[in-house]
Amino acid sequence: MEAKAIVKYVRLSPRKVRQVVDLIRGKKVNEALAILRYVPKRASEVVTKAVKSAAANAENNMQMERDELFVTSCFVDQGPTLKRFQPRAMGRADVIRKRTSHITVMVGDKKEG
């Protein structure tokens, strides 16, 4: 049985969030939260919230024991990109892409893989 939490439209690049998500895949929920507490990346705050939310969903909606939960899968998809421009010399403009992410965390009571 698995419970999941999805965080959408996070104003962080998917490439940078994936670095953080890769650290917790397959770990116990308590261990994953301990790892995220000391990761010096901005994405760790958002991923921490997603893991806590998924654990709460498992505990409250599916009556699972929090101490036995594992992060069974977690992945990051690219959301819509906000396009802005930066004025340059001689009337030109450069495009600045402000990327967004959709983060999905799934927790379950047995380790898969």
The structural domains of the chain, with segments of one domain joined by +, span 2-108
What does the alpha-carbon distance between residue 47 and residue 39 come to, in Å, rounded to a whole number? Answer: 11
Q: Is 63's pLDDT higher than 80?
A: yes
Question: What is residue 109's predicted lDDT score, i.e. its pLDDT?
Answer: 85
Return the residue matching tokens 């594992």. 70
Structure confidence by residue, pLDDT tens digits, 7-52: 999 999 999 999 999 999 999 999 999 999 999 999 999 999 999 9
φ, ψ (nearest 5 deg) of residue 20: -75, -45
| Surface-to-core class of residue 54, CB atoms within 10 Å of its CB (0-12 exposed, 13-18 middle, 19+ buried) | buried
Query: pTM for the complete prediction?
Result: 0.88
pLDDT digits (tens, 9 = 90+) for 64-101: 888 889 999 999 999 999 999 999 999 999 999 999 99
Strand partners, 77: 102
The torsion defined by the Cα of 63, 10, 72 and 106, in degrees rounded to 10, comes to 30
Asked whether residue 107 carries a pLDDT value surpassing 90, the answer given is yes
pLDDT band per the 50, 70, 90 thresholds, residue 1 = confident
Q: How is domain 2-108 classified at the architecture level of CATH?
A: Alpha-Beta Complex (3.90)
The reported pLDDT for the residue numbered 112 is 57
Residue 22 tokens read as 């890769």
